[in-house]
Amino acid sequence: MEDWVEKYRPKSLADIIGNKDCLRRMIEWARDWKPGVPPLLLYGKPGVGKTSSAYALANDMNWEVVELNASDQRTKGIIERVAGATATTMSLLGSQRKLLLLDEADNLHGTADMGGARAIIGVIKSSQQPIILIANDKYGVAKEIKSLCELLQFRALQARSIVPHLKYLCSAENKTCNDNALMQIAESAGGDMRAAINMLFAAGSGADTVSEESVSTASKDQRSSIFEFVGGILRGGADRHLMEMSYDLSDTPDTIEQWVEGALPQIKNPRDRTEAYGYLAQSDLYLGRTYLRQYYTLWKYATALMVIGTAAAAGGQGVTGNIMPPARWNRMAAAKKKKLIRQSVLIKAAFAYHMPENTLRDEYLKAFGMIADKDPLSFAKELSLDGDELDYIIDDKVRSAEVMKEIKREEKEQEKREKAAQKAAEKAKKAQKPVRVIDLTKAAETEKPDLKAPAESSESIESATSESADEPEKSEKPSEKKPSETQSTLFSF
């Protein structure tokens, strides 16, 4: 049986449920699009119609879609080869344009996506085709990418908007539906149209009627998110409920511990916060023994200490700020980024100066920094450094940014000069009027000797002969003048 989500995926923006303001803006963006217009970044929780809207827009505009999502390997080379080629070439299928669709743009992380964000920035800046990026969490998208995009937020759908569409699906599948059952599905979906359709599909499989009883067995997965779990610890709650939430999480206890640790500063009372850190420290001891002895039964003790103990120390004070990922993750990401930048600098310098990377790193990196500090512009141009790489060498972000601006300005001026020279050459080529064969023929006719001219009299010839006899003989006889070999002589007759 075919999946109903794909079977009934909207073909036009007119079929999309909800978020009318976003859809209206997408239509305006597509109609007015031209090279240089910023791409769209559609963000919102899963199942609210972001991807379906992008495909429906492409269908309405007769655009070909090229999609690249997180299930693909998104290294710098792959993005530049696939997305770059898409963004700079025309469609071969008769479509007016090609829409480059980058799904799950907030998942550009890890080794597989190494350099992917920077490659996407380059594709956006050089694109000759429209681009749409899709993300569940806009804060997960690199700020450099967000600054180049126009953001559109897709909000969760209301239950009363979901129910009519569910009725339509039941009618299309010749199934009898109960209004209460459909409302139960819509409310359980939490604004997620995809989840609602999947629940309806599960409830109606193998039956001609969708009832409340069948819906209860096909309810949406209600697993807690890490944000709900951490918020529950700070707000307080029944110990059993908090432990069940921890079991529902897909994260391991050591990862959960880091999330809880990052939220403890929200406990305002210093004594309570100290007590919470004490419980967390004891939990960490059990986690260490778990990995040391490979005795995973200790996990439940570690989880109980970090959950029940921390919640007791918090005393239900509540959430007073944003629940953010652990700060150590940001520090680790920053260190990893710095390491990648250093490696890139070493590779470029080793290639330019024909030296081993290890030698450069151990002996000459400081010397390179001193040289670059004196003339960062020439150094960056010689090694083709970007802003981050130059900043790593001279350790001055402001100067690095100014140097990058100057390089971009020079590149634009060079591009203008090349375009001007190309236009001048084309203009000069057009100004050269080609010589036609018919014109050469006319010129040849004007140069032909007049055969009808009267012949000279014999008397004049004799007088000329006598005069020439009286003249002294010259050392050399003048050569007979020959006509110049021009194109006109070719046409003489």
C-alpha dihedral (321, 322, 328, 329), degrees to nearest 10? 180
Nearest 5°: phi and psi at 98?
-115, 130
Is pLDDT larger for residue 232 or for residue 88?
Answer: 232
Mean pLDDT over 167-178 rounds to: 86
Inter-axis angle of helices 193-204 and 179-189, nearest 10:
140
The pLDDT tens digits of the residues spanning 256-304 come to 888 888 888 888 888 998 999 999 999 999 989 888 888 888 888 888 9
Structure confidence at residue 30 as a pLDDT band (50, 70, 90): very high
Across the beta sheet with 131-135, what order do the strands follow?
A: 63-68, 97-102, 131-135, 40-43, 150-153
Query: Per-residue pLDDT for 46 more than 80?
Result: yes
For all residues of the chain together, what is the average pLDDT? Answer: 78
Q: Quick check: 363 pLDDT over 90?
A: no
Tens digits of per-residue pLDDT, 99-152? 888 888 877 644 334 456 777 788 888 888 899 999 888 877 888 888 889 999
CA dist 291 to 119, 237, 254, 306, 345, Å?
A: 39, 30, 10, 17, 38
pLDDT of 186 > 90? The answer is no
DSSP-derived 3-state class of residue 134: strand
Report helix, strand or coil for 165.
helix
The phi and psi torsions of 359 (rounded to 5 degrees) equal -65, -40
- Model pLDDT for residues 306-326, shown as the tens digit of each residue: 899 999 988 888 877 777 777
CATH 1.10.357.10 fits 159-216, yes or no: no
Q: What is the CATH number of domain 4-153?
A: 3.40.50.300
Q: Are 8 and 197 in contact (CB under 8 A)?
A: yes
pLDDT at residue 464, rounded to an integer: 46
Top-ranked range on mean pLDDT: pick from 20-29, 141-150, 169-178, 435-444: 20-29
**How buried is residue 189: exposed, middle or buried, by Cβ count under 10 Å (0-12/13-18/19+)?**
buried
Selection from 307, 309, 301, 300 nearest residue 275 by Cα: 309
Spell 259-271 as b/e; 16+ CB within 10 A means b. bbbbbbebbeeee
Tally Cβ neighbours within 10 Å of residue 150: 13
Backbone angles phi, psi at 325, to 5 degrees: -60, 155
Say yes or no to pLDDT of 221 above 50: no
- Greatest mean pLDDT among 130-134, 193-197, 250-254, 428-432 lies in 130-134
Distance (Å, rounded) from C-alpha 161 to C-alpha 108? 33
What b/e readout covers 94-132, taking b as 16+ CB neighbours within 10 angstroms?
eeebbbbbbbbbbbbeeeebbbbbbbbebbbeebebbbb
Q: What pLDDT score was predicted for residue 451?
A: 46
Q: How confident is the model at residue 489 (pLDDT cuts 50, 70, 90)?
A: very low
Query: Can you state the percent helix, strand and coil of the chain, rounding each to 5?
Result: 60, 5, 30
Rounded CA-CA distance 377/353 in Å is: 18
Joined together, the tokens standing for residue 477 give 């006889």
Q: What is the pLDDT of residues 70-101, one digit of tens each?
A: 445 455 555 555 555 555 555 555 556 888 88
What ranges do the domains of the chain cover?
Answer: 4-153, 159-216, 226-325, 332-402
